[in-house]
Amino acid sequence: MNFTQNAKLNQLSERSIIVGVDIASEFHYARAFDWRGVELGKVFRFANNVEGFDSCHAWIEQLKKRTQKDRVLVGAEPTGHYWFGLASYLKEQNVKLVLVNPFHVKRSKELDDNHPSKTDAKDPKTIAKLVIEGRYNEPYIPEGIYAELRIATACRMRIQKEMNSIKNRIQRWLKIYFPEHATVFGKFDATSSMLVLQEAPLPMDIKKLGAEGINRIWRDNKLRAVGMKRAKSLYEAAQKTIGCTEGESCSRMEIELLLQDYNNKITQYQAVMDVIDGLCMKIPEVAKLLEIKGVGLVTVAGFLSEVGDIRRFNSPKQIQKLAGLALRESSSGKHKGQTTISKRGRARLRAILFQAVMPLVAKNTEFAEIHNYYTTRIKNPLKKKQSLIALSCKLIRVFYVILTKGIDYDPQKLIKDIHRPIEYLAA
């Protein structure tokens, strides 16, 4: 995992064939080279299906026999999801696949011919040359429980996004037809509000029911949080509404459909969360992570789905780099540029960590104390956002130690990381 460039170069020898593949939706293009960059054949075109993969494998075997070489390294540029099938096939054939950065391909394609052209025949050569130079990464495809967790977490995020979209549409509908609704209910999706909207979506429907009818809806559903006082407030708001009154039948149909969609999404979300909970509980150390005040199931599941099996990393700094939180600096001579994070890596992992740190600072005493120290220390104080990023890196280290060593979370040990001035210690 995360080999140095020297280690990558040492994987190639005189017995190696390096195959560069340009990935596409229907047809892939491949070119083969030896470890010095000498091309071993013509461009090979094969389809993105089993027959095409078999023909490519046969072509590689012919090259091995003709050149008397016995090692193969295939390099590809990840294009969307189209490379997944080829990766699975090569794994079954015990052929190693590595990936090159599309940005590197774009920047280095003019090195051979000094021409900005981009073709299906040219790109495989550029990809292969990058592999020969050791400028590649080994892909990590989650397996077992981590594969299940990644899919379930992506499903949860998709449903959450759709729920937010439906909520916005319902709130828009209320602003048009019943703007006074917000003065009676703080949130439209409160149980008391949803029960009324399902039976009386329009202000005119509320007028017909009257305060007694509204209160009866809540009593029939055994809701005790609201009563006659709230029912009268809603009835008075319906009488004084300035909402639109045109298109009564279709507007009623619209809100009914939106409420059905919202309720369906809530059901789906809960079902997915039950699956995620079951998957996470199969990992023994997860229970220890959830004992940290301010850390919830969504944070832990999101972290594990992005990182996968954490034991494949030798250091938490590798996870920090994966999340794009590694520091970068632009300096030259006497000029010292500003230090920022790289933002190279998994953007979703970076977002999960940042979103997890904000409630930690609010609810967790030790994280709040460290955040206060970072932002108020005399020497090199950090801005609030910089402090949150530093705490995201600290959270990575906490998760890494707990997951790899199985130890319990120790708040006092976390606080000891603060380097306090001597006068504070004396006091």
Percentage of the chain exceeding pLDDT 70 = 95
Res 7: pLDDT: 84
* Region of residue 148 (left: phi > 0; alpha: psi -120 to 50; beta: else): alpha
**Mean pLDDT across the chain:** 89
Q: What is the mean pLDDT of residues 96-105?
A: 89
Task: Look at 247 and 353; give whichever has higher pLDDT.
Answer: 353
Asked if 5-132 and 148-278 have one fold, the answer is no
Q: What is the mean pLDDT of residues 257-270?
A: 96
Res 422: pLDDT: 46
Residues 6+ apart with CB under 8 A from 339: 327, 328, 329
**Three-class DSSP category at 336:** strand
81-85, 256-260, 413-417, range with greatest mean pLDDT:
256-260
Q: Are 132 and 241 in contact (CB under 8 A)?
A: no
Res 334: pLDDT: 65
pLDDT band at 424 (very low <50, low <70, confident <90, very high): very low
Say how many CA atoms lie within 13 Å of 312 toward its Cβ: 17
pLDDT surpassing 70 at residue 1: no
Res 247: pLDDT: 87
- Over 302-319, what HEC string results? HHHHHHCCHHHCCCHHHH
User: Can you give the length of the chain in residues?
Assistant: 427
DSSP 373-421: HHHH-SSSPPPHHHHHHHHHHHHHHHHHHHHHH-PPP-HHHHHTTS---
Res 95: pLDDT: 92
Residues 6+ apart with CB under 8 A from 351: none
CATH architecture of 5-132: 2-Layer Sandwich (3.30)
Res 30: pLDDT: 95
pLDDT surpassing 60 at residue 83: yes
Res 331: pLDDT: 63
Residue 277, token pair as written in the block: 């909970």
- The topology under which CATH files domain 148-278 is Helix Hairpins (1.10.287)
**The whole model's pTM is what?**
0.83
Q: Domain coordinates of the chain in residue numbers?
A: 5-132, 148-278, 286-426
